[in-house]
């Protein structure tokens, strides 16, 4: 529930009708809340394939996603076993950049590794 409806519900339950000044205050709170909405976040997903070497995937996770070795191995094995897995969650611009970087580095090395983003 947003702030405006929370104040509205609370004033109803207490039988209060907001006056003109209170209504302006509620509207300002609402307007401010709209402006400060958190940006959506996007998951960077990695897909399994039969050809990309495991150590290459681990290396990508360490270098591009700042994962410590153990976590990088876990993520890689999760993708290997389940077909898909999350490498990290970012704002749209950062997620998009990571996807492009993964695909570029993989193509340079002639690996078919695939990566995509999905809104959280
Ligand atoms: N399945 C690959 C192999 O056995 C390893 C791999 C893991 C490939 C994760 C892609 O996103 C991937 N060499």
pLDDT tens-digit profile of 38-65?
899 999 999 999 999 999 999 999 999 9
Q: Check pLDDT > 80 for residue 3.
A: no
Q: Check pLDDT > 60 for residue 7.
A: no
Could you tell me if the CB of 57 is within 6 A of ligand 1? yes
**Which pLDDT value is given to residue 66?**
98
How close is the Cα of 119 to the center of ligand 1, in Å? 23
Could you tell me if the CB of 24 is within 6 A of ligand 1? no
DSSP structure string for the chain: --HHHHHHHHHHHTT----HHHHHHHHHHHHHHHHTPPPPEEEEEEE--SSS-HHHHHHHHHHTT---HHHHHHHHHHHHHHSEEEEEEEEHHHHHHHHHHHHHHHHHTT---EEEEEE-
Could you tell me if the CB of 74 is within 6 A of ligand 1? no
**Which pLDDT value is given to residue 14?**
66
Per-residue pLDDT band for 31 (boundaries 50, 70, 90) equals confident
Q: Whose CA is nearest to atom 12 of ligand 1?
A: 48
């Amino acid at each position: 529930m947003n702030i405006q409806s929370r104040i509205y519900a609370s004033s109803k339950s207490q039988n209060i009708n907001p006056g003109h000044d209170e209504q302006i205050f509620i509207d300002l709170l609402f307007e401010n809340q709209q402006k400060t909405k958190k940006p959506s976040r996007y998951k960077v997903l990695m897909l399994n394939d039969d050809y990309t070497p495991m150590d290459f995937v681990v290396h990508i996770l360490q270098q591009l996603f700042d994962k410590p070795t153990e976590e990088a191995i876990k993520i890689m094995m999760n993708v290997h076993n389940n077909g898909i897995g999350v490498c990290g969650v970012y704002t749209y611009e950062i997620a998009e950049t990571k996807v492009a970087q993964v695909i570029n580095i993989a193509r340079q090395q002639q690996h078919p590794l695939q990566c995509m983003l999905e809104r959280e």
